[in-house]
Amino acid sequence: MKTRVLDGEKIKEIRKKRKYTFQQMADALGISRRAYQAYERDESEPTLAGLAALANILNIRVDELLLTDTIRFNLISDKADLITNDFVSDVIQSNTLNKAKQFQLVLTVWKEITKFLFSKGWINND
């Protein structure tokens, strides 16, 4: 059984606060309304690129969508190769973003990950 990392309730709360509908979120993410609703009901989770896009649409940091600090740390430390390789591949292969937007998205996510790790004291400047 896959460990859930996304906090569907938090997504729902922020979406409502921003006054977005299910359909607006789905359209912005390029997915069906049903697929988006599954995120809020904790029935499925987006790809890493989808997670970054979701955070961008809601104007929050990626780590704010995750369940706990432990999961955040495990996701980042255990999946560092996934984040740096598969995520970048997902973004680059995306047909919906031009190259400049792809680069900007990857850079933004990387900065947020680094900022989060520093804030928790899990990495330092050494």
* Digit-coded pLDDT (tens) for 86-108: 556 666 566 555 667 666 777 77
The answer as to whether 48 is a domain residue is: yes
The answer as to whether 3 is a domain residue is: no
The answer as to whether 1 is a domain residue is: no
pLDDT band at 114 (very low <50, low <70, confident <90, very high): confident
pLDDT (average), residues 10-35? 93
The answer as to whether 126 is a domain residue is: no
The answer as to whether 20 is a domain residue is: yes
Per the structure, the count of domains in the chain is 1
Pick from 30, 32, 31, 38: which is nearest to 12 by CA? Answer: 38
Pick from 101, 110, 103, 121: which is nearest to 63 by CA? Answer: 110
The answer as to whether 85 is a domain residue is: yes
CATH code, domain with 89: 1.10.260.40
pLDDT band at 35 (very low <50, low <70, confident <90, very high): very high
DSSP state, 84? I
For the full predicted model, state whether its pTM sits above 0.85. no
Beta carbons within 8 Å of 88's beta carbon, 6+ residues apart: 106
39-60 pLDDT, tens digit per residue, is 999 898 888 788 888 988 998 8
The answer as to whether 104 is a domain residue is: yes
Q: How many C-beta atoms lie closer than 10 Å to residue 5's C-beta?
A: 16
Which pLDDT score, from 0 to 100, does residue 1 have?
45
The answer as to whether 116 is a domain residue is: yes
Range of the domain at 87: 8-120
- CA within 13 Å, CB half, 60: 16
- Per-residue burial over 39-64, b if 16 or more Cβ lie within 10 Å, else e, is bbeeeebbebbbbbbbbbbbebbbbe
Considering only residues 80 and 109, tell me which one the structure prediction assigns the higher pLDDT.
109
**Highest mean pLDDT out of 26-30, 65-69, 108-112, 117-121:** 26-30
User: Please, are residues 40 and 34 in contact by the beta-carbon 8 Å criterion?
Assistant: no
